[in-house]
Structures are given as C-alpha cells and as structure tokens.
Structure 1
Amino acid sequence: MNTTQLFNQPLITFKRTVLMSMMAMSLGGISLSSQAQTPAQSNQQEIEQLRQEVQALRALVEQQQAQTATVIAPVAIAPIPVSTPATKPVMKIASGAEFNLYGNIRADASYQAEGGSATRMYNQINTVPLEGTGERSDEFKSTLSATRLGMDFKTPVGAGDKALSGKIEVDFLGGASFDNLRIRHAYISYANWLIGQTWSNFAVPDYIPETVDALVYAGGSIKRTPQVRHTSTFSPATNLVLAVEDPKDGSIKQRLPALTARLNHKLADNFMVSARAMGHEKRINEDEKTAWGLGLGAKYDLVPGTTLKADYYHVKGDSSFVSYANPGVIAATNGDLLQSEFDSISVGLTQQFNEKLRGTLGYGYMNFDQSNAYIAASANPTAINKDLWQAWANVFYSPTKPLSFGLEYVYGEREAVVAAPNGSTKGEDNRVNAVAIYSF
C-alpha cells in the first residue's frame, strides 16, 4: 500500500459511515411521516422528500470529497540545504567581466654568517666571493621587495560557456638592487591556448623543494618567459604542452624563439611526473650554435602529509632557463662559439606535521663540463664554476590562514675552475633566512 492509499483509507471509511447513518435517519423519518397521512398524500410527499434528501446527500458527498482532497494533497518537501565551501569574493564590472585581487606583504631577513655580497640578500651561490676575496660575512640584511600584488580575471566570450581568463601579477624584485617594480605574470588564456608571460614550459617550479629564499637554490629554476602555449589533453591523467618562448638571453643575438615541450602524467593520485625538452638557436655576431636541454621532475606523496620532490636537468649551450648556470655560449678570439654543458638535480622531503606546521629538508647540486678553450675564452675564469651545491632545512608556521612565518638554515659551496690570486677555489654560502608573510 502506498502513502496516498494509507491516508485515503480512514477517510473513505469515515465517509461511508456518515452516509449510511444519514440514510438510516432519513428512512426512519419517512416511515414515521407515512403512518400519519393518506396513501396518496403519503406517496407524493415521500417522493418529494426523497428528491430533497438525495440532493442534500449529493451536496454532502461533494463537500466530503473536497475536504478529503485538501487533506491528502501532497505536501511539498523542502530540499535539505547543502553547505558549499566558501569562495573568494568576486568583483564584477559593467561588461560582465569578473575579477579578484590577491597578494601578500612579505618581509624577508637574512643573517649572512659567511660569503654573500653587498648588493643582494637572496641566493647567489654561483657568484659568492671565493675565500679571502671580499666576502661580506657576519652581516644582517632585510627587504620587502618580494611583496606581491595580483589580479585574476575572467570574461565571457561569444555564445556558450567559454570564457577568456587571465592574470596580472607584480612584485618589487626588479633591477640590479631588487627594489624596482617588475612583472611576474601577465597573460590571457582561452580554451587550450595561452599568450603572455608566465612560468617557462621547460623550467617549471612544480618539482622544486620548498624554500624560504625567494629565488630557490642550486638545481632549481623559477624562470618566467613571454610565450605562446598550447595544451593537448589526451586523458584525465596525461597532457602535452608545446610552447614558443623568449628566454631573454642577453648574452646572444636572438633570431628565433626557443621551442619547448612538456609531457605531464599522473601515474597515481599520489604520484606525478613531468618530462621536458628545449631547443634554441644561439647567435653571436653571425655565428650560431644550437642549445638543447632535457628535464625530468617527479612528485610523490609517500604517506599523507609526507611529500618527496625531485627535479633533474641536462642542458648544453644555455644559461637562460636553469638558474645559476655558467654562460651557455661564449665566443673565442677566432670567432668560434664555445658551449658549456651541465647536469643538475634538486631533491627534497616536506613533512606536514599538522595544519599549522610543516618543514622541508632539501639538497641541490650542479656539475659543469666545459672545455679548456671555453675557460680560456672567458673574460673572468674565476667566475666559471666546476660545481655548486646547497643543502637547507626550514620550517613554516601558520597560526592563522593569512599569516605565515618561516625560518631556514642553508649552507652551500661553489668551486671555481680557476683559482683566485690567493689560491682559493672555494666560496661559501652560510646563512639563516627568515620570512613573515601576510596574504590577502
């Protein structure tokens, strides 16, 4: 029996009982009245009385049916409200475009125990002074140059649900002294295309272990380039990104942009890999060489809250994509172009201790291979490195969502291919970094 039948049954029974009682009362009244009158009069009056009673019964039945319909009318059940996650407020303008502002106020401080230079406080492992040649040891530095301001926007385009989206983001790390406004990101994207400046398709930051230092350490790269990019999605787990990029290599005469490719694949929910390739023509005067590079990155969640990251590069003839490399190409006195070649790796383990505290242990290494002719052609051979390495440990604490504090210790060394006049070939980077960030 369904719900409607369950509600109807007692009402139908009640209706039948009322009707039968009223008919019995009517018949009783007819019998009494017929005993007091003549047969002819009695018959005529009975017929009239029956007609009136039938009409009354009909009206009563219709009334009962109307009341029954009102009682058993289906009741609309209000849907149970489902809580949805809070979203960032979105502002709209008259054209229909939506945008939201974001950014942070960031204060960095550093105590340089050994090494370093007077002009900057962020990582400079490839240029730290060799021992006894002008180190800036035992020195405190601070800056707010990494303070950031950005805007994301989205606007409908044509019919359907497609939209044009983009980003503009700036900070103050421009110029030689890192205190000028500069563009970090400025691009638009539509469907599978992106045009503008953002992270290089070759030197991506996705697989770099976390650092307090705003410029990362040896073996990593945070290159942003002007580019035109297209993404092809083969499956939910795999996509291919192709791009033409301007690497902004000031050491060469550029005739063509660099070509880059990146294949991203998710092996499992906790395991992602990325294979990358780069090719670029290097020209000095009218001589040219082809530079190329390969990259491989991986991110693996060992257990919930414990993440391993690793990033590897092999590059020949280029210093514009991966940070801290020797000049990719230089010209010999006879006009020949000579190339540097290197391998680099960075690896790190991040542990999320709780929702407010996390920490990272990291290591980065770069090894360079260049010919004697390359070294001899350099204007400053002591600036050409044989290898670089850095190791670091940090913790980040976020007492509330908009606030974050970080503390880090880093130690690293560089070894030059040619000794300084005092015989030293080693430079050190030994310091403590701290950061306070308010995000909005």
Structure 2
Amino acid sequence: MNTTQLFNQPTITFKRTVLMSMMAMSLGGISLSTQAQTSAQSNQQEIEQLRQEVQALRALVEQQQAQTATGIAPVAIAPVPVSAPATKPVMKIASGAEFNLYGNIRADASYQAEGGSAARMYNQINAVPLEGVGERSDEFKSTLAATRLGMDFKAPVGAGDKALSGKVEVDFLGGASFDNLRIRHAYISYANWLIGQTWSNFAVPDYIPETVDALVYAGGSIKRTPQVRYTSTISPETNLVFAVEDPKDATITGIKQRLPALTARLNHKFADNLTVSARAMGNEKRVNEDEKTAWGVGLGAKYDVVPGTTLKADYYHVKGDSSFVSYANTGVITAANGDLLQSEFDSISVGLTQQFNDKLRGTLGYGYMNFDEDQAYINAVTDKTKANKDLWQAWANVFYSPTKPLSFGLEYVYGEREALAPATPNGSKTGEDNRINAVAIYNF
C-alpha cells in the first residue's frame, strides 16, 4: 500500500495502521536490544514507553468508535442545509375559505339465501316477503351506490379568531331503487350553533354496533334531518344539545306538517371508558286537520370493557312517530270514524366489537323491535301483512384493513319479522332475512 492509498483510508483505519507500525518498530527494537544483551534498565524503559504509547493509541481508537456509534462526526464537516418538511397544501376559494375534499369508493355485494326483494340489496327487515309470497331467495346483488364524496370547509368571519365551518357530503343511495344522488350532510356551524342537515339530535348513530350493511339493522337509526341546533357545554364531561328538526314522515297518509320537532340530548362521560346519552323528542302529527302529539325517549351507552373491546347499546321508546327510528310501523293512521291512532314500540340494539390487532376487528350484534298490540290500531291497518308485531336481527362481521386507505368486510346476518296477520294462501306470518354481505372500501 503506497502513501496516497494510506491517506485516502478512513481516519480509524489510518490510526490503526500507525498503531500497528509503531508496535512493530517497538517490538523490533526490543528484539535487537535483547540480541545485543543491553542492560535490564534500558529494556525496562523501552517496554514502559511502548506500553504508554499503546494505551494512548487505544484510547484514541475507542473515542473514535464511540463518536461513530452515536452519530457524531469524527471530523469537522460543513453542515448540509436541510429544507423544512413540505406542508399539505391548503385549498382556498375566492372568499378566503379553506377546504379539503374526502370520500370513498365503496363496492357492496350480497348473497340473499332466503327472503329479500329485487328492489333493494340493503337491509329491509320490516318489509321482507312473508314465507312463500314473492321471496327473492338464492340471489346475488351488487352496487357501488354507497360511494361517497364530501367536502369540509372553514372560513374566517369578522374580527378575531372565530371561524365558520361546515360540511357538504353526498352519496348515491337516493330514490326507491337506491341509485340516485342524495345529500347526506349539508350544514354550517359557528360557535355553539349549527344550521343545516346532519344526524338527528334524537336518533344519533354513535351507539349502534358496526355493520357491513350500509343501512342500520333492527333497533337502530341513522336519521339525518334539516335542523337548527344549539350546544351548551356544562362541563368538560357534560353537554346539553337542543334542536328543532324537520320530522317529515312520508309513511303517513294525508299528513300536514305545521311545526318542527323539538329534540334534546344530554351527553355525559362518566370515565375515560364510559359514555352515555339520554335523548327526548316531541312533535305534532296533523292529519286532515286533526292532531296528535308524538313523543319518544332514547338512551345510548358506549363502554370500553378492556382496551380493544367495546360494548355498545341503544334503546328507544316511541309513540306516534315513524320518522326517527328505522323500520317502525306507520306512526299515525286514520280509523274509519276519523280518529287518529298511534303506533307505539320499544327497540334495542346491542353489540360487542373486538379489535384483534391494528388491521383486524370484528363485531357481534343483535337488534330487536316490539310493537304494542293496540287492537284499534290493528283494526285500522289496511294491509296487516305489511305491518309488524316484532322484528329481530343478529349479525357477525369482520373488517380487515391491510393498509390505511383500504378496508374489506364480510358479514353474516339472519333476522325475522312477524306480521300482524298471516299471508294468503299459505297462512305464514313470518318473513326471513338470511344473507351474506361483503364490502370493499377505498378511502381518500
């Protein structure tokens, strides 16, 4: 190795070479001294000097290795300028508002083993055909109608740091056949106020067990209404929400809406793992100039049993309304003598979700609805095979997310409805919903 090659090696290699050379020279000196039979005192001095040199060089090498291990440069190097991390670009419009787009592409598929109809592939437990009457069993269905597109926005308003925020979100589940564009959410909020359409203050989805089906199962509700809402924060753990909402109810014949519904919701967090919500609702049902007051109460709870295991439950008792809670019988009907008669029911949904790891989770759920057997109401129902005495569904699902934007779900659901009267000619009062659901979602 020539001199140029030697100095081109890393600093540590160079110093180790020097150490070896010096050791060799010293050892050579010792050998020569021994052969020449020099005095013992001279030999001892040379050995001691060599020991000191070796220790000094060893300390230098160890220091060099320690600096390299900790990432400290062994020699002074001019720092390389590092550019600041790129920030996510903010999209703005002429008014100064900032906004971001989001959404998903969602593909749903379902195999209906028993029950169901051709018009819909999502949940329809209140209207599945009775046994032997027009069932669409052994049938595969698919759609991308639950694909969603949304936009969140924020804009400065007046002086100070307060801002107006809002959301616009649509999907394609509108119309009887679920293939038309519809508004899911469209609202603005400022301070404690919200104006627009979003989740009902009475029928919130927070306490519903997770499903693959794009619609809720028996016992729950995913109602969105036009509303004006005010939120009052009582404490960090408690808030009270009031709203006036549009209780439109297309199932009631001849209804004339005169007043909005009044709703109230009290949310409280008892501990880090327990949240509850108590709700109340009241609204006027006006048919042919006659009036009835509809009302309801609800109670929901979410409890993290242990980290990764969550229990959800939601309960409703409602009289005279079929707009807020899904799959209810018609809230108000007119008797032959002109009297208004009201349906009344209790419903509950409960489910346990287990997060197995960061990519896999699963849910077991059950939902039930029971309608009071008011004989006057039953007598006034025109087609008793289309009104129900009770409904129930049970389901089990798993969701797998291999990467953050992708999610795949598989679910089995079985449920039944019992009608107020049997169908003809076979005399069956039971309709069955037996199917497997699958979904693939890409979020953006």
Q: Same fold (TM over 0.5)?
A: yes
2:431 pairs with 1:427: yes
2:294 pairs with 1:301: no
Measured at CA, do residues 358 and 88 of structure 1 come closer, stay the same or move farther in structure 2, by a change above 3 Å? farther
Q: How many residues align?
A: 358
Does structure 2 retain, via aligned residues, the 8 Å contact 1:382–1:420? yes
TM-score (norm 1): 0.80
| Other-structure match for 1:366 | 369
User: Once the 2 structures are TM-superposed, how far is the Cα of residue 272 of structure 1 from its aligned partner?
Assistant: 0.2
AA of the residue aligned to 1:352: Q
Does structure 2 retain, via aligned residues, the 8 Å contact 1:153–1:166? yes
AA of the residue aligned to 1:404: S
3-state secondary structure, aligned to 1:376: helix
Does structure 1 retain, via aligned residues, the 8 Å contact 2:247–2:283? no
AA of the residue aligned to 1:266: K
Which string of whole-angstrom CA distances, capped at 9 and with x for unpartnered residues, describes residues 46-91 of structure 1? xxxxxxxxxxxxxxxxxxxxxxxxxxxxxxxxxxx9x99x986531
Measured at CA, do residues 106 and 338 of structure 1 come closer, stay the same or move farther in structure 2, by a change above 3 Å? same
In 2, Cα distance between the equivalents of 1:150 and 1:189?
Answer: 16
| Other-structure match for 1:272 | 275
2:378 pairs with 1:375: yes
AA of the residue aligned to 2:116: G
| Other-structure match for 1:390 | 393
| Other-structure match for 1:240 | 240
3-state secondary structure, aligned to 1:373: helix
Does structure 2 retain, via aligned residues, the 8 Å contact 1:339–1:370? no
In 2, Cα distance between the equivalents of 1:439 and 1:182?
Answer: 19
| Other-structure match for 2:416 | 413
Which aligned runs of 4 or more in structure 1 are off by greater than 3 angstroms? 86-90
2:222 pairs with 1:222: yes
Question: Which of residues 421, 437, 440 is equivalent to 2:441?
Answer: 437
Identify which range, 99-108 or 419-428, moves more after superposition.
Answer: 419-428
| Other-structure match for 2:171 | 171
| Other-structure match for 2:53 | none
CA RMSD of the aligned region, Å? 1.5
The structure number with the bigger radius of gyration is: 1
3-state secondary structure, aligned to 1:126: helix
**1:77-88 alignment runs, 5 A limit:** none
User: Once the 2 structures are TM-superposed, how far is the Cα of residue 225 of structure 1 from its aligned partner?
Assistant: 0.1
User: Once the 2 structures are TM-superposed, how far is the Cα of residue 376 of structure 1 from its aligned partner?
Assistant: 1.5
In 2, Cα distance between the equivalents of 1:416 and 1:406?
Answer: 32
Question: Which of residues 304, 310, 319 is equivalent to 1:316?
Answer: 319
Measured at CA, do residues 231 and 306 of structure 1 come closer, stay the same or move farther in structure 2, by a change above 3 Å? same
Measured at CA, do residues 241 and 374 of structure 1 come closer, stay the same or move farther in structure 2, by a change above 3 Å? same
AA of the residue aligned to 2:243: A
**1:47-58 alignment runs, 5 A limit:** none
AA of the residue aligned to 1:173: L
In 1, Cα distance between the equivalents of 2:231 and 2:125?
Answer: 35
Identify which range, 132-141 or 246-255, moves more after superposition.
Answer: 246-255
In 2, Cα distance between the equivalents of 1:377 and 1:157?
Answer: 54
Identity %, equivalent residues: 88
2:344 pairs with 1:341: yes
Unpaired runs of at least 5, structure 2? 1-81
User: Once the 2 structures are TM-superposed, how far is the Cα of residue 429 of structure 1 from its aligned partner?
Assistant: 0.2
Measured at CA, do residues 88 and 290 of structure 1 come closer, stay the same or move farther in structure 2, by a change above 3 Å? farther
Does structure 1 retain, via aligned residues, the 8 Å contact 2:229–2:241? yes
TM-score (norm 2): 0.79
2:105 pairs with 1:105: yes
In 1, Cα distance between the equivalents of 2:285 and 2:181?
Answer: 29
AA of the residue aligned to 2:268: H
Question: Which of residues 287, 292, 296 is equivalent to 2:290?
Answer: 287
Does structure 1 retain, via aligned residues, the 8 Å contact 2:116–2:137? yes
3-state secondary structure, aligned to 2:379: helix
User: Once the 2 structures are TM-superposed, how far is the Cα of residue 370 of structure 1 from its aligned partner?
Assistant: 3.6
Does structure 1 retain, via aligned residues, the 8 Å contact 2:346–2:370? yes
| Other-structure match for 2:55 | none
User: Once the 2 structures are TM-superposed, how far is the Cα of residue 331 of structure 1 from its aligned partner?
Assistant: 0.3
Measured at CA, do residues 370 and 339 of structure 1 come closer, stay the same or move farther in structure 2, by a change above 3 Å? farther
AA of the residue aligned to 2:217: Y
Which string of whole-angstrom CA distances, capped at 9 and with x for unpartnered residues, describes residues 188-246 of structure 1? 00000000000000000000000000011000100000000000000110000000000
In 2, Cα distance between the equivalents of 1:321 and 1:98?
Answer: 34
**1:153-232 alignment runs, 5 A limit:** 153-232=153-232
